[in-house]
Amino acid sequence: MGPRHLGKNYGKDTYKGQKKPSKFPLPLAMWDFGHCNPNACSGKRLERLGCIRNLRIGQKFKGVVLTPNGKLTVSPADREFFDNGGASVVECSWAKIDEIPFSRIGGRCERLLPYLVATNPINYGRPWRLNCAEALAACMYIVGYKDEARLLMENFKWGHAFFDVNEELLDIYAQCKDADEIQEKEKQYLEDMEASYHEQRNIDPDDLWTQGNLNHKPVAVGKDTSDSSSNSESSDEANIEEEPIPNIEDSKHVANEEDDDELWRNIVRMKLKT
Ligand SMILES: C[S@@+](CC[C@H](N)C(=O)[O-])C[C@H]1O[C@@H](n2cnc3c(N)ncnc32)[C@H](O)[C@@H]1O
């Protein structure tokens, strides 16, 4: 979907009186704790492309703040907050999340995302652990900015996979009225998934286990064209290479498949209890 579909605000420097990055039609922001490799970091890539602006530590954000520290789930009821300020993320490493001074960042509308599956090369197949671009796209989609969500993900070779995998759920969430309804639908979805998981194990366990970890079926991504020269922070958009796509099998970020299966099941069990 091209920018022509995106309405009269596209390309303007301000949105509701607030400065916004000029290369994206909606205001996006991040607190960047600099934990990540700039070439593998979706937030940094969006910054290089001019799609997201940086926030200072100590600065609060008036739109939707996507954070693991949130208590409520983001829902279409947050549209007003979004329209007032856009959406923000906390760019940091999942491994160092305990080091984040959450009291010095955030805002009035801190939100969790409901169950969705990451399709980025680092955490492919993991539920809830989205990267910054996926988190922002999911939020936009849920509050009603579907075209903009897709536009954001066009900046990543693997971006289409996020919608291939999550579109059904995103559409369910986007039709909900509020956070309670989203949590209800999410719970139902997870229960159905847990039930079909047990059903499949009972009916034909051999078949299931010979297929390996279905969560980690590699995503169809284009050939990695990045090279070492892409380390430079060039202002020329044509020179901005996408992050290298790690070999999922070799990545130290991905535990072995059994651990991952167990992690996934624990998360689902934990969610079903709430
Ligand atoms: C921990 S950082 C990891 C960023 C990663 N290095 C990248 O390349 O984008 C991801 C951020 O996205 C947002 N996020 C991801 N998953 C989320 C979820 N389930 N609920 C709320 N926010 C989430 C949070 O702001 C979180 O800090």
Question: Whose alpha carbon is nearest atom 3 of ligand 1?
Answer: 131
Which residues are near ligand 1 (CB < 6 Å)?
36, 41-43, 66-68, 70, 89-92, 94, 112-113, 128-132, 135
Q: Is residue 35 part of a domain?
A: yes
Q: Is 42 annotated as a binding residue?
A: yes
Q: What is the pLDDT of residue 161?
A: 96
The residue to mutate among 65, 72, 100, 131, having the most atoms of ligand 1 within 8 angstroms of its beta carbon, is 131
Place of tokens 């970890």: 213
Residue 248 is predicted with a pLDDT of 35
Q: Which domain holds residue 167?
A: 9-179
> Residue 237: is it exposed, middle or buried by C-beta count within 10 angstroms (0-12/13-18/19+)?
exposed
pLDDT value of residue 237: 36
**Dist. CA 244–CA 121, nearest whole Å:** 9
Residue nearest to atom 12 of ligand 1 (CA): 132
Which pLDDT does position 265 carry in this prediction?
Answer: 52
- Token digits of residue 206: 């051999």
Interface predicted TM-score (ipTM) of this complex, two decimals = 0.99
pLDDT at 244: 45
Per-residue confidence (pLDDT) for residue 262, from 0 to 100 = 54
In the reported structure, the alpha carbon of residue 129 is separated from the centroid of ligand 1 by a whole-number distance in angstroms of: 6
> What is the total count of domains within the chain?
1
Q: Indicate whether 123 belongs to any domain.
A: yes
**How do the pLDDT tens digits run along the chain, 274 residues long?**
434 445 555 555 665 565 556 689 999 999 999 998 998 999 999 999 999 999 999 999 999 999 998 999 999 999 999 999 999 999 999 999 999 999 999 999 999 999 999 999 999 999 999 999 999 999 999 999 999 999 999 999 999 999 999 999 999 999 999 999 999 999 999 999 888 888 877 765 555 555 544 444 433 333 332 322 333 333 333 344 554 443 333 333 334 444 555 555 555 455 444 4
- Predicted pLDDT of residue 7: 53
90 labeled binding residue: yes
The pair of structure tokens assigned to 194 is 């847990």
Model pLDDT, residue 196: 85
Q: Which atom of ligand 1 is nearest to the CA of 94?
A: 1
What's the pLDDT score for residue 193? 87
Taking 3-state DSSP, the helix, strand and coil percentages for the chain, each rounded to the nearest 5, stand at: 45, 10, 40
**Residue 24 placed within a domain:** yes
Q: Is 94 annotated for ligand binding?
A: no
Q: How far is the CA of 22 from the centre of ligand 1 (A)?
A: 23
Q: Per the domain annotation, does 250 fall within a domain?
A: no
Atom from ligand 1 closest to the CA of residue 41: 8
The whole-angstrom separation of Cα 229 and Cα 232 is 6
Cite the DSSP H helix spans in the chain: 42-48, 79-85, 132-143, 146-153, 159-174, 179-203, 205-210, 257-273
Let me know if residue 218 belongs to a domain: no
Mean pLDDT of all residues belonging to the chain = 78
**Residue 101 pLDDT:** 96
Task: Say how many Å lie between the CA of residue 32 and the centre of ligand 1.
Answer: 11
Residue 103, C-beta contacts closer than 8 angstroms, at least 6 positions apart = none
Is residue 113 annotated as involved in ligand binding? yes
3: in domain? no
Going by alpha carbons, the residue nearest to atom 11 of ligand 1 is 132
